[in-house]
Amino acid sequence: MDRRSFLRLTTASVVTPTAEFLHKLHTGEDPHRLNDSPHFADGLALPQNSASSSPWYAVMRRCGQINYNERDPLTIDAEAWGDYWASLKVDAVLLNGGGIVAFYPTQVPFHHRSQFLGTRDLFGEMVAAVKRRRIRAVARMDCNLAYEDTLKAHPEWFERSQDGSPRPHSESPWLFATCMFSTYFSEQMPAIYREISQHYPVDGFFTNGWPSTGAPHICYCENCRRLFEKLGGVPPAETDASNPLYRKYYQAHVDRVMEIWRLWDSVARERNPQSVYVGNLGGGLDTVKDLKQISQVAAWFNADHQGRSGETPIWDCQSVMQGRTITNVTGAYSNAQPNWRHVSKARAEMTLWLAQTTASGMVPWFHWLGGSPEDNRWREVGRSFFNWLAANEPNFRNRRSVAELAVLYPQRTVAFYSRPESRRPRHRGGPTDYLQGLYYALLEGRFLFDFVHEGNLDAAALQKYRALLVPNAAYLSDGQCEAIRQYVNSGGSLLATFETSRYTEWGEPRPDFQLAGVFGAHVAGEVIGPRGNSYARIEAPHPILEGFNGTALLPGAENRVPVREDFVPLVLSVVSNYPAFPPEMVYSRAPRTTEPAAIFRETGKSRIAYFAGDVDRTCWRSGNADLSQLLQSAVNWVRGPDPAISVSGPGLIETFAWETEPGYALHLLNYTNPNATHGAIRRAYPLGPQQVRFRIASGRVIKNVRALRPPASLKFQQQADFVSFELPGIADYEVIALT
């Protein structure tokens, strides 16, 4: 599109080209000295943070990215893009610098310059365009692929298949995969970073697609063969967590990630101590690489979870960074299956993805691909949402979560428990199904919760929570089990399911649950299942079962561990499966057993609910209402009465609550939608009134309760430490500020 049409879509005025910047660059003068120029005084001399001890990215609240392509230098308008990002009031923008393709006149050998660059310095223009608008500039790099001429000159830089051949990209076969264990990462990429830092006033570097959170794949180049020799073998044909050699490689891979991350971060800070390196770590609940270890080197963590496809539910983005800077990317393009890179996704889908990113405490990062778009429907979505965020920014500066429930994120179980390449039996289902089933029940029950990574299981992390919920954490170390045991001994409550603690962190079976004494249950046999048409019989009354009047049977889990209990009254017993067809054969051959389907016990101040079956996974796979209600009732029982925050009313919503700089904020996301678990959300289905009861710090007085979207003051009552009010309704997303 032409410049005039582009500028019709923006609100900022046009500024002059970046001739002074480019002149200084090409004459060898340091462009960082543009701060001394009156013309750039308002652009490059960026304001200091309100908290002087915090780096700029720690207080960033809005981020953008334009991912231009090799051909874009022919048509892209840097100033128009500067205007657009300024109209969103972003704090930082990511701009293509180099790696696969250099968008500036690079002098680094084998750093491919865009064939369409000509005499332009597109990266320099883009950096200056955002800087003059008081926006931070982060160089977006790609370290994963390089051209054939580089392969011929430096074959040692590239990944190899088992037959020794290089690995071409599946869609762009003229590009070949580079190896993380080669000097391409330790020498070539730092040379490119240093060149950019020398000539451009960038505030950081970001690498696309690296290190990611996917499984470490096996490379057979000479570097990796030597690595495996040191580890005691040769590269295996496939990833397999039961293979001791692969376990060593997994840790070596994570160690290399951390080594390279530290190196690149140190290079980024050589000329500017406030600069930062940030890697691309994927997103969603299904991760393999150890987030806990990576978080030790990541000052800024980016979850590149740009959207959803297939059966991914709308609530699939969350954070486990414990207060560190974390961004989540919202791709404005249609990234479904298949995806379309140059057309916009539905406005309602885009907005709710941005909303969940914000509500969960992450910083929204808005992204478009292509420097001269023909579809511009996405522009106003980002501008509208980001301007609203900017207008209410203090209410999004979170101090701490006020949730009372912790959900364990079982990293090793998710990574290795039942992946297709694992030797674990496939009947146990996808490793995130357990987590998704519990998550869905928590949504239906209106529970507020935080994720706690298994690497953070300690007294300090758990002491604030009334209960810990553990969805089939089959792989747990002795230390992690001991942390859970101590938490329960100190008065914390626990809900756990299926094979939790049945294996070590590497999947080695234990003779019994490591947490058998906590559960009050012991392994009595190998896993049974998958078997449909099995049941749980109600044997005795219990608070968890109060909502199940009129039935003696409840749906049973598809898989279960046979257990024996420690003298705990039998509340739910197993009714083994029996034929579901033909109808004449549908009857139980053993309608009563003494095998527990679940164990509910109290010890001191602690309440423990252990389900021997995969009720969470079965709930998710079946959508069964009774199983969801059973999980909700169990969560409600282990948490105990009088929750800190309750929200009652119609609809499926997710709630987050934060103590903020000015007070408190309650985020409500409306998931009542036919497309919540499949496809793109087309429109919102507004909900009616919601009754809220919110506990505040003792002695604090709330003077104002205000809905932010749209702005409206709400009537409220405060009685001691509780504030009560009615929210008239929710469209798609609402935030209530209590100050």
* Amino acid type, 709: R
Cα 196 to chain centroid distance, Å, stands at 30
Q: Quick one: pLDDT at residue 653?
A: 97
Domain match, 574 and 678 both: no
DSSP 180: T
Within 10 A of 399 (CB to CB), how many other CB atoms are there?
11
CA–CA gap between residue 493 and residue 406 (Å, rounded): 10
Domain match, 614 and 720 both: no
Q: Quick one: pLDDT at residue 336?
A: 81
Beta bridge partners of 668: 655, 734
Domain match, 451 and 595 both: yes
Which is nearest to 62 in space by CA: 406, 329, 396, 365? 365
DSSP 726: E
Q: Quick one: pLDDT at residue 214?
A: 80
Alpha-carbon torsion 642, 648, 654, 660, what sign? Answer: negative
CA–CA gap between residue 173 and residue 132 (Å, rounded): 39
DSSP 187: I
Condensed to tens digits (0 to 9), the pLDDT of residues 578-626 reads 999 999 999 999 999 999 999 999 999 999 999 999 999 999 999 999 9
Q: Quick one: pLDDT at residue 496?
A: 98
The answer to whether 563 and 541 are in contact (CB under 8 A) is no
In a domain, 104, yes or no: no
CA–CA gap between residue 48 and residue 308 (Å, rounded): 36
Within 10 A of 570 (CB to CB), how many other CB atoms are there?
16
CA–CA gap between residue 554 and residue 600 (Å, rounded): 16
In a domain, 283, yes or no: no
Dihedral angle at the C-alpha atoms of 575, 581, 584, 589, nearest 10 degrees? -20
Q: At what angle do helices 625-639 and 615-622 cross, to 10 degrees?
A: 140
The answer to whether 1 and 75 are in contact (CB under 8 A) is no
In a domain, 717, yes or no: yes
Q: How many C-alpha atoms does 90 have within 13 Å on its Cβ side?
A: 29
Cα angle: 131, vertex 134, 136; to 5 degrees = 60
In a domain, 83, yes or no: no
The answer to whether 598 and 555 are in contact (CB under 8 A) is no
- State which of 249, 276, 303 marks the end of a domain: 276
CA–CA gap between residue 637 and residue 614 (Å, rounded): 19
CATH of the domain at 539: 3.40.50.880
Domain match, 620 and 688 both: no
How many domains does the chain divide into?
A: 3
Q: At what angle do helices 433-444 and 625-639 cross, to 10 degrees?
A: 80
Question: Which residue numbers in the chain have pLDDT < 50?
Answer: 1-51, 420-427
The answer to whether 47 and 134 are in contact (CB under 8 A) is yes
CATH of the domain at 672: 2.60.40.1180
Domain match, 659 and 629 both: no
Residue in the structure block whose two tokens are 């996974």: 617
Domain match, 547 and 678 both: no
The answer to whether 368 and 628 are in contact (CB under 8 A) is no
Domain match, 503 and 487 both: yes
In a domain, 399, yes or no: no
In a domain, 351, yes or no: no
Alpha-carbon torsion 179, 180, 181, 183, what sign? Answer: positive
User: What's the 3-state SS for 514-555?
Assistant: CCHHHHCEEECCCCECCCCCCEEEECCCCHHHCCCCCCCEEE
Between the alpha carbon of residue 519 and those of residues 269, 301, 449, 497, 566, the distances in Å are 50, 36, 22, 10, 9
Cα 586 to chain centroid distance, Å, stands at 44
- State which of 276, 310, 327 marks the end of a domain: 276
Is the omega angle on the peptide bond into residue 591 within 30 degrees of 0, that is, cis?
Answer: no
Domain match, 634 and 649 both: no
Domain match, 564 and 668 both: no
CA–CA gap between residue 88 and residue 77 (Å, rounded): 17
**Tokens read off for 587:** 């009857």
Domain containing 629 equals 405-639
Beta bridge partners of 450: 406
- State which of 261, 276, 291 marks the end of a domain: 276
The answer to whether 300 and 232 are in contact (CB under 8 A) is no
CA–CA gap between residue 173 and residue 188 (Å, rounded): 22
Q: Quick one: pLDDT at residue 46?
A: 37
In a domain, 72, yes or no: no
Beta bridge partners of 304: none
Domain match, 722 and 683 both: yes
Residue in the structure block whose two tokens are 């309650």: 666
Q: Quick one: pLDDT at residue 52?
A: 53
Domain match, 606 and 651 both: no
Domain match, 632 and 650 both: no
- DSSP states of 218-259 as a string? P--SHHHHHHHHHHTS---SS--TTSHHHHHHHHHHHHHHHH
